[in-house]
Structures are given as C-alpha cells and as structure tokens.
Chains A and B, each alone.
Chain A
Amino acid sequence: MAIKKPKIIVIGGGLGGLWATMRIAEAGNQVMLFSLFQVKRSHSACAQGGINACLDTKGQHDSVWQHVVDTIKGGAYLANQPPVKAMCEDAPGLIRTFDRMGVTWSRTPEGVMDLRLFGGVKNKRTCFAGATTGQQLLYTCDEQVRAHEERGLVKKYEFWEFLSLVKDGQGRCKGITALNLRTMEVEAFRADAVVIATGGLGLIYGKSTNSASCTGAAASRAYQQGAAFMNGEFIQFHPTGMPGDDKNRLMSEAARGEGGRIWVPRKQGDTSNPLTIPDDQRWYFLEEWYPAYGNTVPRDVAARAIWKVVRDMGMGIGGKDLVYLDLTHLSEEFLRRRLGGILEIYEKFAGDDPTKVPMKIFPAVHYSMGGIWVDWEKNETTGALKQPSPRNHQTSVPGLFSCGEADGTYHGANRLGANSLLSASYSGRVVGESVAAYVKGLKESVDTAPEDLYGNEKKRQESINKQIMSCSKGENPFLLHKELGDMMRDKVSIIRTNKQLDEALEKLKELKERASRMCLDDRHGWSNASLSYARQVQDMIVLGEDLPIPEGKFAGDPEFEAYRAKWKENNTKWLKTTLADHTPEGPKISYEDVDTSVLPVEEPRDYR
C-alpha cells in the first residue's frame, strides 16, 4: 500500500531544485519548496555560455559517445561513468523539453537551435540563449513551477533557511527544521523525502564567481548530520575571472569559444598599452602549448597554464596576477551579437569596452565538482542508469536526496564548460523521478512520526540561535568569513602543496573554535541577516575541512612527460572517489573505487 499524499521538501530553487520540484509535482505529490530568496534569483541565472547536448546539427558528425568521452576524460576519469553516460544520452531530450517550455534558444537563420563551441571539445555541442543561458533556463523552470503552484501542487517557502534534518530512530530523514528569515523563528516541517539542491560553496573561498548565497552551508548541515561528502578537493578555478572587490565576476568561456585569445606581453613586466604591442611581442601561451585545442582547452588546463605563466614565470601583466583575454581582432558586430550580455558585464564593472581593449583576467574559484555523495543504480543492459530508481541521487542518509552542484556525481576532477547547466537540470530531473519512486515504496507516512522528533530538533536549533543572539563579546561573523576566504584562496588554490594543506587544516580548526563564539551587532528579532550569516559561516568552516585533502590526487594534472610516465602508477593509487564522513574532530576520509565500466582508463588526458 503506497502512502496517501506524500509530502516532499525541496531545498533550493535553482535549476536542480526547480527540475526536481517539477517532476515530483508532476507525479502528483505535494512539494514544499524552500529557498533563501525568490527562487528566480538563484545562482543558476549566472551561467552565461550554454548547456551541452549532442544535437549534431552542425555537420560535424558529433556523437553522444563523444560527449560521454569528453566529459569522462575532462573529469580526469574520476567520475563514476554510468551516471555520466546516462546524462549525455538524455541531454538532447532534456534540451527538447526545455525548448517546449519556451527557452529562448538562439536561432540559426532557418529558425532552429544554434550551437556553439566550448572548451574541452572539438565539436559544436553547446546550446545557448544569447549570453544568458543559465538565466533563461532558470526562468523557464521558474515559470513551470509557477504553473504547478497555480495548480496547487507546489507551495513555496521563500525567505526561509534550511537549518537541519529531522531524522527518526533508524536514521531516516523525516523532515527539516528551517528558519523564517523574516520573523527569525524556527519551525519544523514533516516530509516523506527531502531534496538538497542548494548549489555550490564558492563563498568558502570568500571571493569567487558565485552568488552571495553559495555558501555550501546547507550541504554542510546535511554532512554534519550524516550525509557523506565526496571529492571535496575538486574546486574548479575558472580561468577567466575579472578580479573584483566584492566578488570575482565571470568572463564566460564563450569568449574563448567565439575566438578570444589569451596572451601576455613577451617582455616581463610590460605595462604599455596592449594595443600597441605588436603580435610578435605577444605570447599566446595556450596556443603554443596546446596547438590542438589552443585557447579552448578545458578550464583546469587553462587555469593551471595561467597560474604557471603568472606565478611561476612571473609573466603576468605588469607583474600582477593578470593576463589578457583578447577579442579585439573580431568584428564588433559579431561580438555584440554572439556575446552581447557578457561584454556588457565587463563594460559595466571594469569600465572598458572589450571590443576595443583586451580584457584583463585571472582564474577565480568557480565551481565545486565535489559535493554530497549520492547513490545510483546501474542499468546492466545499457551500462547507464536504471531509471527511475529510488537509489538514484539518494544520499547516505535514507530519504535524503541531492542534486545539482550540491552533489558530486558527474564531473570527476574537472567540469567541462556548459556541462554544469546540464548536470543541474539532468540531476534535478532524475532526483525528481527517484523521489517519486521512493515515496511510492514507503509503507508509512511521515504523519505517523512522533511529534517529539520535531520538537526536539526545533529546540536544538533555537538554542543555537539564542546562544549567538545573547552573546555580548565575541567574533564578528563577517570578519571571520573574510579570514576564512583569504586563507582558502591562499592555501587551497590552483596548485597545492601538502604543507599548505596541512596549514589550512590547522587554521580551519582554529576558525571553527572561534566561530563557536560568534557575536552580532544586530540584536533585532526581525529580518536579522547577521544571524543567518553567522550560522552560515559556522557551517562553511566545517565544510571547508573537506576541501584540503592532503596528498591531493591531482591525477588530472597534465604535467607533461613526468605525468605521462606516472600515469599508470597514479591510476592504481588515485583512481578513487574521496569520501568524507563528519566526526566532531574533523572529516574521516576514505576512498572508493571509481566505476570505469563505460570508458576504460587507457588514454591519458592530453590536450596538446
């Protein structure tokens, strides 16, 4: 007997959360959708370039298989392959569904979807909507969820913050507690299943390309209550960030895809006007080092190359942490049409017109490949995923699911450009279907769960809030966060040494202790943003401990010949998924084999 009217909670209203909500509601379930703000303002809106799917409409004989290979190799073989295969196979169907939902895909002259080239691949495979693809996909899902809201299937809890899981005696997730960000009251909610779709954790690094909400706090809370965290060490540094005071804004990879060239002056410390530097005095180091892919090498390769040129060789513009990303050789009309939105961003925030002056960029923390560990069920016939299956995207806490950037399934050690919108949407869809399957198999409704489960957890959360609110002398959460970010950017960066990582772990311990003595300037009981911030900082620090994994397994680092020789040896040692389980003393690290049943690990990743 299936239970009547299952209640499901989705936390996070970006692409993943909205897709999950849609699919769960479509199966006739009631969804409570929690978000820190109106879901339309989620960070998915920031993705500019596009979403990968093999449509093969450009006469290049592109294939789904090639997409699978690019994604697996791009991730340095460190993603379990069946889910990746399933994602790439389902991508074209996902794009068609988006198309029907009304996404304003850019069009060819004959009115069909256009494709563009992106990093790490040789074929045009990236569907895009101007230069605001993420925004367009997010809004379209927002609209679909609004329709479900109108139909009475979805209830939004916007301006609510997820605080903790409510688990029963068997460790099953039976609901959540959440903080009303207006009244600052804690409330407990019952749910037959919970989905965490809360995105990335860039704010652990202080400044990143992420939105202000991408703290990883929600993932951290789930982690602290038993959800294993995987591959925390894999943070993507976007090669082309615009360094800024409040954040590092993103210059889309599309700028390279459409023909942008990266260079530095050959003369060290040269500060002269870049337009006056003749071509033979410019060093196009990516084109020189990687002739096959040139400027469109994958992000990690580009970021490491820039790091090497700037930090190791001291060739940054004027000796600073900057290189040129040059579009000025392309026609203004072409650039405005293809890259309008992202050029505007540069003009707005840096004050220069990138069609006339080369942009100044440097790698910036951008995406977390790792995330909450989730299960998956293989379809033995196809080698991809069995769908639907309640196992798919279920975390190590039964009844708790995760999708999007919050989980760590699809990208291994490095995510290919335009694969994030794909994994967010795809995993959201999959998680929606698995949740629907999961609640169908439940014997007992959450309504029968004892009330004190909820009452106790609510009290526990209230006491944490009370402690922060009643403190009279202690740490300032804003300054503490800054300290955390500065330390992480310094020690857990593009190139890491074990010494640095040990120092980072030491510092995190210290910060964790200090964060337990947080004190606020804001004493109001209404809409107190500081309280919510303080709690996020506490949880960012705890999750931060999952990122500096010593002996970091950078199997993907193409350190040329030395790397090639060590390739096989490294594979036996480091072809693993890192798992972190929370203990009060810090993460307990273990390793799990990677499923490589789709593409044998035979060819090193090499973009030369």
Chain B
Amino acid sequence: MQEIHLKIQRQDGPDSGPYWDEFKIPYRPQHNVISVLMALREHPVNVKGERVAPVVYEVGCMEEVCGACTMIINGKVRQACSTLVDTLAQPIVLRPMTKFRVVRDLMVDRQPMFDALRKVRGWIDIDGGYDIHVHAPRISPKDWEKNYDFSRCMTCGCCMEVCPQVNTRSQFIGPAPVGQAWLFSNHPTGKYYKEERLHALMGPGGITDCGNAQNCVRICPKEIKLTDAIARIGRDATIQALKDLFLK
C-alpha cells in the first residue's frame, strides 16, 4: 500500500449542502485518521489537483479520552485518533456525525448533549468548593466499579449517533445523559436529588423514549454499560411514578 485514499464528505457551513472531496496522501505506518488529516492540511490538494481549504475537524487529546474527534469512518462512528489506518479498507470514507448540526466539514455541534446534562441535573450538589473537613460517605468497591464505568463518559456522541430514537423528529435526550443521571443518583449524596433527575427523565424526550435497540452499548468506545443505566432508570421511574401516584 503506497497511498492512502480518502473520501471526505465536506460542508462549508451549517446551511450549505454537503459535497465530496477525494485525496491521496503517501502511506506511512502507524498512521491514524487524525494524523492523516494533519498530514493532509499541510498539502490540501485533492485528486483533481485542486488546492482546496484544509478539511475542518475537531481534535483534542489524540488519546481517546476527550471525545473531540468523533466522526463516521467507513460507515461506523468512532474516534478518529484511535482508528489506525492499517485496520481500514480503502478508500477511507469520512463523514460528519448525522445526529448533530454540521458546523463545517467534519465538525459538528454537540451542544445539545451538554444542554442535556444540565436538564438531568448532572452534578453532585455541594455547599461550596471548600474543605468542610470530612470526606464524602464511603463507597463500596462494587459501587465504585459501577460508577467509574459511567464517569468515563466523554460526551463524544457515538451513542447518540447510533440511536434510532435520536433524530430531528424526536426529542429523545439520548443514552449518554441517561447514564449520567443514573451515575449521580448512585452517589451517596447525589441521590438526595434522585427524584428531580427522575422527573426530568419522565417527560417528553425522557426515558420512555428509549426504543431498546441497544446500539448504544454496542458502539460506546468506553464500553459503558449504558443499557444497564437505562433499565435502572426505567425501574426507578416506575417506582417514582407509583410514589407520585400514591404518596403525593
């Protein structure tokens, strides 16, 4: 393999139409998709020999912990930095995620995911960022393991991309925020606001909008047990509904 052949779906802005651009760059071992895009921007010449604007993409840590460089690579959504070129069939087809508004080329606007974290009260309530001379209550190693699983969610959007229930017609908040809501309610003091989180997830776009296609758990790059959280929130919502019916 002497060359890397790239087919990239580009878009100049949120309101303009998508188009394809093709590139060929020299092969180098250990290339990943981000390093290919980096090499490309140094000499952004397409196969037609035209010098074009370098492809715009988001990049952060390049270690698959920040979630920035998520895109659709050969039909599958994943992080570009951890996708080694040697594992891909050519031409390598790059597209922006489809469940978010395209900003430009491969860059999309994932703000709705962050807004969702606000909706589900995605934090632990504390009095203030100062020492009160005690630790939080103890957490068993087993609970820790479950919580740690979810606290690694990097809001990359893979689960949103593959979820059939997340789309422009529906309001579904998506798997990641549900997982985060569960995480905070499973903390010994975070659970004080479990009811608020459940109520936030019992409205339109909430937990009942999950269709259990379970793609999220298959695609998550951190292998977070999203469907566990969804089912647990489902159970808690059922119980909460009964409480709301009979105790209020």
A and B: direct contact (Cβ < 8 Å)? yes
- A: residues with CB less than 8 A from B are 19, 22-23, 26, 37-38, 40-43, 45-46, 90, 93-94, 96-97, 99-102, 104-113, 129-130, 132, 135-136, 139-140, 143-144, 146-147, 149-150, 182, 211-213, 244-247, 249-250, 341, 345, 348-349, 351, 429, 432, 476, 478-479, 482, 521-524, 526-530
Docked-complex contact B118 and A100, CB < 8 angstroms: no
Q: Across the interface, do B63 and A250 meet the contact criterion of CB distance under 8 Å?
A: yes
CB <8 Å contact, A211 and B190: no
| Neighbouring B residues of A102 by C-beta, 8 Å | 123-124, 136, 184, 187, 189-190
Among A26, A108, A146, the residue within 8 A (CB) of B123 is A146
Chain A nearest CB from B109 CB (Å) reads 9
B133 contacts partner chain A, Cβ-Cβ < 8 Å:
yes
Could you tell me which residues of chain B, from 40 to 99, have a CB within 8 Å of some CB in chain A? 41-42, 44, 51-54, 56, 58-68, 81-82, 84
List the one stretch of B24-32, B160-168, B226-234, B238-246 in contact with chain A. B24-32
A530 touches B13 (CB 8 A): no
Residue of A nearest to B86 (CB): A351
Give CA–CA (A242, B84) in the complex, Å. 15
Bound complex: CA A110 to CA B137 (Å): 12
Q: Is B144 an interface residue (CB 8 A)?
A: yes
| Contact in complex: A246, B61 (CB < 8 Å) | no
Contact indicator A22/B129 (Cβ below 8 Å): yes
Given contacts A143-B124, A144-B123, A146-B122, contact A521 B44 (CB under 8 A): yes
Judge whether B7 is part of the interface by a CB distance below 8 angstroms.
no
Contact B64 A345 (CB under 8 A): yes
**A residues in contact with B38, CB < 8 Å:** 246, 478
Q: Which 4 A-B pairs have the closest CB atoms?
A: A93-B131, A111-B138, A246-B35, A143-B123
Answer yes or no: B103 CB below 8 A from chain A CBs. Answer: yes
What residue in chain A is nearest B148 (Cβ atoms)?
A104
B199 in the interface (beta carbon within 8 A):
no
Q: How far is the CB of A548 from chain B (nearest CB, A)?
A: 25
Identify A96's interface contact among B82, B103, B131, CB under 8 A: B131
Contact A99 B151 (CB under 8 A): no
List 20 additional A-B contacts (Cβ < 8 Å) besides A45-B60, A112-B135, A213-B60.
Answer: A40-B154, A41-B154, A96-B136, A100-B124, A101-B124, A107-B139, A111-B144, A135-B152, A144-B126, A147-B125, A150-B118, A182-B103, A244-B35, A246-B38, A249-B63, A349-B84, A521-B52, A524-B53, A526-B12, A526-B13
In the complex, the answer to whether B126 meets A101 with C-beta atoms within 8 Å is yes
Number of interface residues of B (CB under 8 A): 68
| Given known A-B contacts A19-B129, A23-B129, A132-B65, A111 and B141 have beta carbons under 8 A apart | yes
Q: B90-125 CB contact bits vs A (8 Å, 1 = yes)?
A: 000000000000011001001100100110001111
Q: How far is the CB of B18 from chain A (nearest CB, A)?
A: 15
Among A110, A129, A527, max chain B CB count under 10 A is at A527
* Interchain residue pairs with CB less than 8 A apart (11): A40-B67, A96-B133, A96-B135, A101-B124, A132-B152, A135-B154, A143-B124, A247-B62, A482-B42, A522-B53, A527-B56
B199 to chain A, nearest CB (A): 15
The residues of A that contact B32 with a CB separation of less than 8 Å are 245-246, 349
Is B155 in contact with A100, judged by CB distance below 8 angstroms? no
Q: Is the beta-carbon distance between B68 and A41 smaller than 8 angstroms?
A: yes
Known contacts A46-B61, A211-B60; A530/B122 CB under 8 A: no
The answer to whether B130 has its CB under 8 Å from any CB of chain A is yes
The answer on a CB contact under 8 Å between B117 and A146 is yes
A-B pairs under 8 A by CB, number: 198
Contact A146 B118 (CB under 8 A): yes
B140 within 8 A of A: yes
Please state if A110 and B138 are interface contacts (CB–CB under 8 Å). yes
Q: How far is the CA of A144 from the CA of B129 in the complex (A)?
A: 9
Known contacts: A100-B132, A111-B141, A526-B104. The answer to whether A476 contacts B42 by CB under 8 A is yes
Question: Contact check: which of A42, A96, A105, A113 meets B132 at CB < 8 Å?
Answer: A96
* CB <8 Å contact, B118 and A26: no
Q: Which residue of B lies closest to A245 (CB)?
A: B35
Is B60 a contact partner of A100 (Cβ separation < 8 A)? no
- Asked if A529 meets B56 with Cβ closer than 8 Å, knowing A40-B154, A97-B129, A246-B62, the reply is yes
Q: A527-B103, A527-B104 are in contact. Are A149 and B118 (CB under 8 A)?
A: yes
Contact B53 A530 (CB under 8 A): yes
Q: What A residues does B152 contact at CB under 8 A? A: 130, 132, 135-136, 341
Taking a contact as CB atoms closer than 8 A, the residue among A143, A147, A245, A522 that contacts B54 in the complex is A522
A479 to B38, CA, bound (A): 11
Cβ A97 vs Cβ B130 within 8 A: yes
Question: Given A147-B123, A345-B64, A478-B41, do A107 and B144 touch, yes or no (CB 8 Å)?
Answer: yes
B1 CB–A CB distance under 8 Å:
no
B66 and A45: CB pair below 8 A? Answer: yes
Chain A residues near B141 (CB-CB < 8 A): 107-109, 111
Residue of A nearest to B187 (CB): A102
Asked if B247 lies at the interface with its beta carbon under 8 angstroms from chain A, I say no
B128 at the interface (CB under 8 A from A): yes
* Residues of chain B with a CB closer than 8 A to A530's CB: 41, 53-54
How long is the Cα–Cα vector from A22 to B63 in the complex, in angstroms?
A: 28
Residues of A within 8 A of B118 (CB): 146, 149-150
Please indicate which of the listed interface residues A94, A110, A132 has the most CB atoms of chain B within 10 Å of its own CB: A132
A521 engages B66 (CB within 8 Å)? no
A97 in contact with B53 (CB, 8 Å): no
Q: Which residues on A sit within 8 Å (CB–CB) of B66?
A: 40-43, 45-46, 211
Asked if B64 and A521 sit within 8 Å, CB to CB, the answer is no
Quick check: A38 and B155 within 8 Å, CB to CB?
yes
Report A-chain residues with C-beta under 8 Å of the C-beta of B44: 521
B132: min CB distance to chain A, Å: 7
How near does chain B come to A131, taking the closest CB pair, in angstroms?
Answer: 10
Q: Among B13, B31, B42, B139, which residue has its beta carbon within 8 angstroms of that of A527?
A: B13
What string of 1s and 0s marks CB contacts (under 8 Å) between B1-43 and chain A?
0000000000011000000000000001011101100100110
Please name all residues of chain A whose beta carbon is closer than 8 Å to the beta carbon of B155 when the two chains form the complex.
38, 40
How long is the Cα–Cα vector from A521 to B52 in the complex, in angstroms? 6
Query: Which residue of the partner chain A has the closest CB to B40?
Result: A478
